[in-house]
Structure 1
Amino acid sequence: MQADKELDTSGLNCPLPILKAKKALAELNSGQLLKVIATDPSSSRDFQAFARQTGHELVAQESQGDKLVHWLRRR
């Protein structure tokens, strides 16, 4: 997948990855893709809830070593 914007929130704990992703999504156009890199283990659950509550699409979640990668498509 090719991200329109990438956000690295490594080292940040909840709620900062979500807050930074929310701001980054606001800068994208509808349908564009945001890649969020996180190290907070609870970020997987947090991004699932965020997508449900905001209507953005959680396209995929991947584990890459100690990092979690979340792909969100702006609604």
Structure 2
Amino acid sequence: MTTSPTSEATHTECLDTSGLYCPEPIMLLHEKMEELATNEVLLVIATDPATTRDIPKFCQFLKHSLIKQEEDEQQYRYWIKKSL
């Protein structure tokens, strides 16, 4: 799902992985998700194009909800709701 960069989504925490490349964004994402409570939303900011593949697969595998995804010329943003 891609939406405009100006659209709003709420989040509890933010993880900025700008400048990092695979596998670092996913490793940091995994650690951060363990810190969150069920149903909290994490905003992940990334610059690695591989995250467009890796983050949706991460969410699917661990049953988290990728509630929103957007990108512009400089970064990718993902809103992930933590499951049980």
Q: If the TM-score is normalised by the length of the shorter chain, which range does it land in?
A: over 0.9
Q: Superposition RMSD on alpha carbons, in Å?
A: 0.8
- Greater CA radius of gyration, 1 or 2? 2
1:1-75 equivalences in 2 (<5 Å): 1-75=9-83
Deviation at 1:3, TM superposition (A): 1.0
**Which has the larger strand fraction?**
1
CA contact (8 A) 1:44 1:70 kept: no
TM-score normalised by L of structure 1 = 0.94
Distance in 2 separating the partners of 1:9 and 1:41: 12
Provide TM-score, normalisation by structure 2. Answer: 0.85
- Shift in Å at residue 65 of structure 1? 3.0
Runs (4+) of structure 1 exceeding 6 A deviation are none
Question: Which residues of structure 1 form unaligned runs of 5+?
Answer: none
Name the SS of the counterpart of 2:31 in structure 1. helix
Distance 1:58 1:15 in 2: 19
Aligned residue pairs: how many? 75
